[in-house]
Amino acid sequence: MKVLRLKYEKNEITKKNKAIEVCFKCSTCSKFCPITQHVKKYNLEDSFITQLFEAEKPEALNDVWMCCACEKCVITCPQDANPTEVFTNLKEKSYQEGLAPSIVYRLVEQLLQESTVYSIKFANMIRKRAGLKEVKKNEKAVKELNVLAEKAGLERKEVN
């Protein structure tokens, strides 16, 4: 059995997520993790969670964005390591470094333009079919969101 060794010692991630150090790779969480269960390259011996915990630059592993924060790992972890929280922090770092999937940058762009993650134009086409009134862009809400984004330091990146 492999022993979990953290390759990134006391870096930003371990400092922010002290819980990583208590993980003893029992794989209990992985049995319930939808990523380890269904993504072909992972298995219980070599799970998504342990690969992330062992990687030198875990924020660069795009699969962290597959984590749906279902918290099955949180319920089952005997060490209370809270992997979901670690993944959210890794996603944030990945986003800041421009390593997140382009869809995430597009979502942010859409949100800051119309205050919704859907395109109002396309939604209205579907709403018309259902006999519902049109959604209108709320300019005040959009403006407020942009202020909050600026205060939070949310970067917008151009993607193709």
Partner 1 sequence: MFNYLFFKGCTIPASLPNVEKLALEVLPEIGINLIESDEFTCCPDPIRLQGANQYFWISTAARNITIAEEKKLNIMTLCNGCENTLAIVNHKLKNNPALKKTVNEALKNIGREFKGTIKIRHFLQVLKEDIGLDHLKKMVKTPLTGLKVAGHPGCHLLMPNEILQFDNPVDPEFYDQYIEALGATSVDYLTKADCCGISLALAGDKEASNRCVKTKLIDMQLSGAQLISTACPSCFNQFDSGQLMASRDYPKLKEKPIPVLYAVELLALAMGRSFEDIGYNLHRVKIPIKIKR
Task: Give the footprint of partner 1 on this chain (CB under 8 A).
Answer: 34-35, 37-40, 62-63, 65-72, 74-75, 87-89, 91-92, 94-95, 100-101, 103-104, 107-108, 111, 115-118, 122-123, 126-127, 129-132, 135-136, 138, 140-145, 147-149, 151-154
Q: In the numeric block, which tokens belong to residue 128?
A: 């018309």
Q: Which is nearer to partner 1, 25 or 106 (CB)?
A: 106
Tell me the CA distances in angstroms from 68 to 9, 10, 71, 80, one per residue in order: 27, 26, 8, 19
**Spatial contact of 28 and 77, defined as CB atoms under 8 Å apart:** yes
Q: Which is nearer to partner 1, 50 or 115 (CB)?
A: 115
Q: Quickly count: other Cβ atoms within 10 Å of residue 53's Cβ.
A: 24
**Spatial contact of 160 and 102, defined as CB atoms under 8 Å apart:** yes
Q: Which is nearer to partner 1, 44 or 70 (CB)?
A: 70
Q: Which is nearer to partner 1, 22 or 69 (CB)?
A: 69
Minimal distance, residue 149 CB to partner 1, in Å: 6
**Spatial contact of 89 and 13, defined as CB atoms under 8 Å apart:** yes
**Spatial contact of 77 and 29, defined as CB atoms under 8 Å apart:** yes
Sign of torsion over alpha carbons 52, 57, 62, 65: positive
**Spatial contact of 27 and 4, defined as CB atoms under 8 Å apart:** no
Minimal distance, residue 3 CB to partner 1, in Å: 28
Q: Which is nearer to partner 1, 45 or 139 (CB)?
A: 139
Minimal distance, residue 91 CB to partner 1, in Å: 3
Minimal distance, residue 113 CB to partner 1, in Å: 11
Q: Cα(151)–Cα(102) distance, rounded to whole angstroms?
A: 23
Minimal distance, residue 44 CB to partner 1, in Å: 16
